[in-house]
A = this chain, B = another copy of it.
Amino acid sequence: MTRYDAATTPKESVMGEQDREREEFLRVAERARRAAADLAPLPRAVKDAALHAIADALVRSAPEIVKANEADVARARESGTSEYMIDRLSLTEPRIAAIAEAVRKVAALPDPVGETVRGNVLPNGLDLRQIRVPLGVVGIIYEGRPNVTVDAAALCLKSGNVAMLRGSSSAYESNTVLVNVMQGALEGTGVPSDAVQLVPGTSRASVKHLMRARGLVDVLIPRGGASLINSVVEESTVPVIETGVGNCAVYVDAAADVDQALEILLNAKTQRPSVCNAAETVLVHAGVAEVFLPRALEALREAGVTVHGDERVRAHDTAGTVVAATEDDYRAEYLSLDIAARVVDSLDEAVAHIRTYGSGHTEAIVTTSQPAAKRFVALVDSAAVMVNASTRFTDGEEFGYGAEIGISTQKLHARGPMGLPELTSTKYVVTGEGHIRT
């Protein structure tokens, strides 16, 4: 490492800092790489015991974790962070107990590693098996909530992967203690302590090191808003799995059961507006608008939802509370009690709207028409398509996967809720008796 004397100019001094950070990152990444090789072949029992050791240590170290978290929270308060964000950042002893409980739940899930995905004997007698193996080192870039630090580490460990965690700088002290506690818990379990790693530093450059660590990091999973994900996609040479941006639409078909449509729309919009599978747009077929819209606008208003409607929606706005929709509204992932609304003349027009403005997460159709449902399912190119069900069901727990590392909105590798199998790759094992090709 380069050392600088008192004569160093400020610019050189910054370079020195960056070089040091990069070298420190590379040291951590190399340790992660070596740990990945040791972790990959470990049997389930060793990994599960390690997860329980982590859960125990988290509960035991709760006071220490809370103390570090209080420092983060105080810093966030000073810098004027909203109470909503403060709440996401805060760790209390009951919250830590819940995080530990989630780790035990991950331990109870089946181990995806070693599962035979395909297998048969070839005509020449070669035994061909495709089996699940860990990805290796998984980099996770996330915002705010420090519980992700533990959730992600646990899911990675269970699937035989090393986690390289890069949380929000606002939670750096919390994350540092959480990772220290987890690393300490791993000692003596057979799982290398290096299987859980925090990317050192809080600068933007430290994210960059992770994004350029091709060959050291096998995959990057950014979890957060569209701008975070776009910047990772743009800059990363490590393969990326995009997660979490959800501009979800509910389409109320001409043949909809109107009561059902109302219930689904309200649930999709209001049950938990801040999550990616909440509805952000409602598209109403002209044939049902007269019956549906007056009731829907009233119900949304009563639920505190601001509707951003096109002209044809506003024609039904007797209360005068609907705001005029812009193109930006059609594209918006509000994550709040807002919704864009539009009347369409056909199912295909609804599909075209979704193709233009959607984020490929989840779209729902409400209809009693089987052909309409079939056509919507065939034409909508999203990770999940709901027929007569709320968009809120796109979720790893709801799908029965036990836990999820995120919801992929890309088409490669994994699409939709990502459980443990989505954190694996595969390997072909071909066994012969001296087979050669002729």
Contact = CB atoms under 8 A, between A and B. Distances in A.
A189 interface: no
Contacts of A411: 135-136, 218-219, 239, 425
Contacts of A388: 431-435
Interface residues of A, number: 70
What is the total number of copies of this protein in its complex?
2
Interface stretch (A82-90, A98-106, A120-128): A120-128
A315 interface: no
A267 interface: yes
A355 interface: yes
A432 B386 contact: yes
Interface stretch (A200-208, A285-293, A324-332, A377-385): A377-385
A387 interface: yes
A5 interface: no
A123 B264 CA distance: 19
A384 B427 contact: yes
Interface in A261-280: 263-264, 267-268, 271
Nearest to A380: B427
Contacts of A239: 239-240, 410-412
A319 interface: no
Contacts of A63: none
Given A385-B430, A389-B430, 19 more contacts: A120-B400, A122-B400, A214-B233, A218-B412, A233-B237, A234-B237, A239-B412, A271-B436, A271-B438, A377-B429, A381-B427, A383-B427, A384-B429, A387-B429, A388-B431, A393-B437, A394-B430, A415-B425, A415-B427
A219 B412 contact: yes
Contacts of A110: none
Contacts of A382: 427
A384 B263 contact: no
Contacts of A335: none
Given A430-B386, A431-B387, A437-B267, A425 B399 contact: no
Interface in A369-417: 373, 377-379, 381-390, 392-394, 398-400, 410-413, 415-416
The 7 A-B residue pairs with the shortest CB-CB distance in the complex, in nearest-first order: A389-B432, A267-B436, A411-B425, A260-B434, A389-B435, A384-B428, A413-B413
Contacts of A136: 381, 411
Contacts of A381: 37, 40, 133, 136, 427
Interface string A4-23: 00000000000000000000
Contacts of A180: none
14 contacts: A37-B379, A37-B381, A122-B400, A239-B412, A264-B434, A267-B437, A384-B427, A385-B428, A385-B430, A387-B430, A388-B432, A388-B433, A390-B436, A392-B436
A220 to B, nearest CB: 10
Interface string A173-217: 000000000000000000000000000000000000000001000
A311 interface: no
Contacts of A130: 416
A415 B410 contact: no
Chain A's interface: helix, strand, loop or mixed, by majority? mixed
A304 interface: no
Interface of A: 37, 40-41, 120, 122-123, 126, 128, 130, 133, 135-136, 214, 218-219, 233-234, 237, 239-241, 257, 259-260, 263-264, 267-268, 271, 355, 373, 377-379, 381-390, 392-394, 398-400, 410-413, 415-416, 425-438
A234 B236 CA distance: 8
Contacts of A264: 434-436
Nearest to A263: B436
Nearest to A128: B399
Given A120-B400, A219-B412, A430 B41 contact: no
A399 B119 CA distance: 10
